[in-house]
A and B are shown apart, each in its own frame.
Chain A
Amino acid sequence: MAKTQPAVGKQALGSAASTNRFIRDFRINKYLYLMMIPVVAYYLIFHYAPMYGALIAFKEYSPMKGILGSDWVGLKHFQDFFNSYYFWRILKNTIVISLYSLIFEFPAPIILALLINEVRSKSFKRVAQTITYMPYFISLVVICGIITDFTNADGIINTLFTYFGYDGQAMLQKPELFRPIYILSEIWQRIGWESIIYIAALMSIDVEQYEAARMDGASRLKQMFYITLPGILPTISIMLILRMGNLLNVGFEKIILLYNPITYETADVISSFVYRKGLLEFGWSYSSAVGLFNSVINLALLVTANYVSRKVNKNSLW
């Protein structure tokens, strides 16, 4: 999707001449356009139409009155959220967890992809890839159950630590350990899956470049830095931009399954707060307001990241 968008954008630019071109193009590629209809319809129906529902962020929504029939309350829900006692804490936690995962989790699949790329044995490559992306398919509930068991006072990790003379305490009861546990398990679960796209990008690098480099006497490390990395840089920057657009979206499922009151101070994020408040208290309007706030910030970040990337390395979404 991302790659075709710029092309469409350029076509849409211009005036009457481009309209003619569009008609001609349509005649030639009419089946392709036909095939696009379901996709466009999907986005219109499931992504654009529901945006109308965002209206309820400014209303006191009551299902029996309907979206239009509910009473307007203006920015009340936004004010409630900003003035909430825990606002700064959850905002901070959200951003910190997001930044941590940006710093530690984002590069991990790239490194894995580079490593796998350097491996010569085909069969080892395949096995390594399969093993690393397996965890991605395990349900989150199961993953969190495993994490809780492993980090218990008498869980496997603490048992190992006791050999080094450390007296184990349940790790999920220590606020300072919550984020490392969260990020590390995140890396473990997603590294293989996310490396697939980079491995694919690596495949597209011209082999002749490596041959030429070898002729010039470049070591493998140098080849990696001067050919491989620049080769996948466009992919990396696109992924990074997309990632920026999700900065405030720390999913609530995993947080809720792992946190407990003692780790609230480092673990409670916007989405888990909204879950406690919105979903369990039936505050539809309130949660919509927070969701809208999240989306606006995310959009701003996405646009900024895109702009910076376009200026710095000429790679961008649009």
Chain B
Amino acid sequence: MKKWLSSVLVLMMLGTSLAACSSKEETATNSKNTESTNDTETSSKAVTYPIKTDKKLTYWGEINGNLIGVAATHEDVPFFRDWQKQTGVPLKFTAPPTGQVKEALNVMLASGDLPDMIEYNFLGDFPGGPEKAINDGYILKLNDLIDKHAPNLKKYLQDNPDVDKMVKTDSGSYYAFPFVRGDDFLRVFQGPIIRQDWLDELGLPVPETIDDWTKTLTAFKEKKGAKAPFAVVSKPRFFNESGNGAFLGAFGVTRGFYQEDGKIKFGPSESGFKEYLKLFRQWYADGLIDKNIATADSKALDGNMASGATGASVGNAGGGIGKWQPLVEGNDPKAVLVAAPYPVLNKGETPKFGQKHQAYASEGTVAISTSAKDPVLAVEMLDYGYSEEGRLFFNFGTEGVSYNMEDGYPKYTDLLMKNPDKLAPAQAISMYARGSYNGPFIQDKRYAEQFFALQTQRDAVGIWKNTDAAKYSLPPITPTPEESSEYATIMNDINTLVDEMTLKIILGQEPIDQYESYVNKMNSLHLDRAIAIQQAALDRYKAR
């Protein structure tokens, strides 16, 4: 604790002294930039790539989790080398440790020594949101810069006003180059997954209602000897994927905020949540849920899947079915994993929630920092991902290497799909393109059509998309910078309480009647205030 504190303090010390040294130069170069912008404003509407420049820009961003163990630095990833070639702008990369981006950003900001570009989820993971990041002077408000120097992004936003509404803050500031899921097909990718071969063997249909699920899981336990019939990851929060509403959605709630008739509601304090707790408590007592549920991480889940201890879970088409199918086959050649619909209470209902992302996913977006040496050049470089050729490059990589044009359809080569170095397609694609995760570009449906190599994966999207999530889940809203710290304090305490309540009741350490007293505690922690802040944010969003 003390060591950690003092190292942070040392960093701060260093940071402030550095900032003090460099601030003068910055202002000098900045003013130069604005001058040059004015000169070239009329002529440099459309840039031709590669741009001719001898300036080297700095870029801070996480290396995607797919590449753990494959590439340690950006320099090892062909995509990032080619990106510099395509845009003509040389980049110097810094990568925070994968999975600790938030902590790393925290330390970097505290040091005051910022790179030119920062790839980060400012909407979801920056305390206080993007508006605060601009007000505190970390990143630039991009409105003018996009208007003058990013013709491709500007055109896309003009053509897609719904996306435009999402990528701005309440006050209308653009803060980053967004990651846009270009097609509905790309917005649903997660849901319940189940062993089809077990169902066939037991003569059961794919479960639809909660009762079906109870019956199915019991059969898995009794007839197939599954030790953990239903298992999920619980790091960092309990039943992580339930955040999107799996199973919870059957009871009409989620784990967080949602909207109903324009009113904000908080799932855990609604009565449906109690019903959900009751069900899972029963399941746990009956041995239908993994006994290690509270400590289960993805490695434990992979192990349970592979060994046949688990027959149902909630996961992604790519990272779930795609990852587990070869694992279960290794143990049992007949094994097949398929998607199950989001459960409902009564047959024929549509579940209220399920995973469905907005067109604008806030991860993988790139902002330009206030200490950028040449913001105009950075904007011109980042705009590449929204041009015709840039979109192909980001989604599919380099023609002739990672894809070939066949009748106007960019087809991934065998280098990616059947990698000679035994890389999984998800990993190989991430080496040559960013189609399989995110970044400053528009994602192409044709990536998913090929990435989902199995028919079961492609079918999954159709099965999972049948929810009312679009109606009830919240658009990307943020509290005002003034309210943000109050909101964060309240929600930090309340979420701790919710996690505790959920686990204690489900694992049977506290009776289900305790639910009400937990709700009372939430209220005494000023849940009403948090709801009011969210409500105001939603109203502001609607008024955009």
A contact residues vs B (CB 8 Å cutoff): 46-47, 49-54, 56, 62-67, 80, 84-86, 148, 152-154, 169-170, 172-173, 175, 249-252, 260-262, 264-265, 270-271, 274, 276-277, 279-284, 287-288, 291, 294-295
Q: Report the Cα distance A54→B111, complex, angstroms.
A: 15
Chain B hits for A153, CB < 8 A: 291-292
Other-chain contact of A260, B9, B106, B503 (Cβ < 8 Å): B503
Cβ B127 vs Cβ A64 within 8 A: no
Distance (whole angstroms) from the CB of B354 to the closest CB of chain A: 24
Distance (whole angstroms) from the CB of B522 to the closest CB of chain A: 10
| Segment at the interface with A among B154-162, B256-264, B494-502 | B494-502
Also in contact, A84 and B493, with CB within 8 A (given A148-B295, A261-B502, A262-B509) = yes
Cβ B295 vs Cβ A64 within 8 A: no
Distance (whole angstroms) from the CB of B128 to the closest CB of chain A: 8
Cβ A64 vs Cβ B13 within 8 A: no
Cβ A54 vs Cβ B292 within 8 A: no
By beta carbon, the residue of chain A nearest B500 is A261
Distance (whole angstroms) from the CB of A187 to the closest CB of chain B: 21
By beta carbon, the residue of chain A nearest B111 is A63
Chain B, 42-66, contact with A by CB distance < 8 Å: what is the 0/1 string? 0000000000000000000000000
Cβ A62 vs Cβ B136 within 8 A: yes
| Segment at the interface with A among B14-22, B181-189, B215-223 | B14-22
Which one of B19, B109, B293, B294 has the greatest number of beta carbons of chain A within 10 Å?
Answer: B294
Also in contact, A282 and B294, with CB within 8 A (given A64-B138, A175-B509, A264-B496) = no
Distance (whole angstroms) from the CB of A77 to the closest CB of chain B: 11
By beta carbon, the residue of chain B nearest A85 is B493
In the complex, B227 has a CB within 8 A of chain A: yes
Cβ B13 vs Cβ A52 within 8 A: yes
| B residues 1-52 in Cβ contact with A at 8 Å | 1-2, 4-6, 8-10, 12-13, 15-16, 19-20
| B residues 100-130 in Cβ contact with A at 8 Å | 102-103, 106, 109-112, 126-128
Cβ B5 vs Cβ A291 within 8 A: yes
Distance (whole angstroms) from the CB of B114 to the closest CB of chain A: 9
Chain B hits for A152, CB < 8 A: 292, 295
In the complex, B89 has a CB within 8 A of chain A: no
Cβ A56 vs Cβ B12 within 8 A: yes
Q: Report the Cα distance A51→B238, complex, angstroms.
A: 39
Chain A hits for B20, CB < 8 A: 66
Chain B hits for A287, CB < 8 A: 5, 8
Q: Report the Cα distance A65→B291, complex, angstroms.
A: 50
A-B contact pairs, 7 of them (CB 8 A): A50-B10, A51-B9, A63-B111, A84-B493, A252-B4, A261-B499, A283-B485
Chain B hits for A262, CB < 8 A: 294, 500, 503-504, 507, 509
Chain A hits for B489, CB < 8 A: 80, 277
Which one of B1, B109, B294, B489 has the greatest number of beta carbons of chain A within 10 Å?
Answer: B1
B contact residues vs A (CB 8 Å cutoff): 1-2, 4-6, 8-10, 12-13, 15-16, 19-20, 102-103, 106, 109-112, 126-128, 136-138, 227, 234, 237-238, 291-295, 370, 485, 488-489, 492-493, 496, 499-500, 502-504, 507, 509, 525
Also in contact, A50 and B13, with CB within 8 A (given A64-B370, A261-B502) = yes
Cβ B6 vs Cβ A50 within 8 A: yes
8 further A-B pairs in the complex, CB-CB below 8 A; given A53-B10, A64-B370, A284-B12: A49-B13, A50-B10, A53-B9, A63-B15, A86-B493, A154-B291, A173-B294, A261-B237
Distance (whole angstroms) from the CB of A190 to the closest CB of chain B: 17
Distance (whole angstroms) from the CB of B101 to the closest CB of chain A: 11
Chain B hits for A51, CB < 8 A: 9
Distance (whole angstroms) from the CB of B55 to the closest CB of chain A: 24
By beta carbon, the residue of chain B nearest A249 is B1
Chain A hits for B12, CB < 8 A: 53, 56, 63, 67, 284
Which one of B2, B106, B238, B292 has the greatest number of beta carbons of chain A within 10 Å?
Answer: B292
Also in contact, A249 and B6, with CB within 8 A (given A281-B492, A282-B127) = no
Q: Report the Cα distance A294→B1, complex, angstroms.
A: 9
Other-chain contact of B292, A50, A173, A283, A294 (Cβ < 8 Å): A173
Chain B hits for A65, CB < 8 A: 137
Chain A hits for B237, CB < 8 A: 261
Distance (whole angstroms) from the CB of A307 to the closest CB of chain B: 22
In the complex, the number of residue pairs spanning A and B with C-beta atoms less than 8 Å apart equals 134
Q: Report the Cα distance A260→B234, complex, angstroms.
A: 9
Distance (whole angstroms) from the CB of B258 to the closest CB of chain A: 22
Cβ A66 vs Cβ B19 within 8 A: yes
Q: Report the Cα distance A120→B332, complex, angstroms.
A: 57
Q: Report the Cα distance A281→B129, complex, angstroms.
A: 11
Chain A hits for B128, CB < 8 A: 282
Q: Report the Cα distance A265→B112, complex, angstroms.
A: 37
Chain A hits for B138, CB < 8 A: 64
Chain A hits for B488, CB < 8 A: 281
Distance (whole angstroms) from the CB of B292 to the closest CB of chain A: 5
By beta carbon, the residue of chain A nearest B235 is A260
Also in contact, A46 and B525, with CB within 8 A (given A53-B13, A66-B19) = no
Cβ A66 vs Cβ B16 within 8 A: yes
Cβ A63 vs Cβ B110 within 8 A: yes
Q: Report the Cα distance A46→B234, complex, angstroms.
A: 39
Chain B hits for A148, CB < 8 A: 295
Chain A hits for B10, CB < 8 A: 46, 50, 53
Chain A hits for B4, CB < 8 A: 252
By beta carbon, the residue of chain B nearest A265 is B500
By beta carbon, the residue of chain A nearest B297 is A148
Cβ B295 vs Cβ A47 within 8 A: no
Cβ B137 vs Cβ A64 within 8 A: yes
Distance (whole angstroms) from the CB of A167 to the closest CB of chain B: 10
Chain B hits for A271, CB < 8 A: 1
Cβ A169 vs Cβ B291 within 8 A: yes
Chain B hits for A283, CB < 8 A: 127, 485
Other-chain contact of A86, B15, B136, B496 (Cβ < 8 Å): B496
Other-chain contact of A281, B1, B127, B509 (Cβ < 8 Å): B127
Cβ B509 vs Cβ A279 within 8 A: no
Which one of B2, B20, B238 has the greatest number of beta carbons of chain A within 10 Å?
Answer: B2
Chain A hits for B507, CB < 8 A: 173, 262
By beta carbon, the residue of chain A nearest B2 is A249
Also in contact, A291 and B492, with CB within 8 A (given A53-B9, A153-B292) = no
Chain B hits for A260, CB < 8 A: 234, 238, 294-295, 503
Other-chain contact of A64, B5, B126, B136, B485 (Cβ < 8 Å): B136
Which one of A169, A249, A261, A276 has the greatest number of beta carbons of chain B within 10 Å?
Answer: A261
Cβ B503 vs Cβ A47 within 8 A: no
Q: Report the Cα distance A258→B111, complex, angstroms.
A: 30
Chain B hits for A47, CB < 8 A: 6
Chain A hits for B136, CB < 8 A: 62, 64
By beta carbon, the residue of chain B nearest A169 is B291
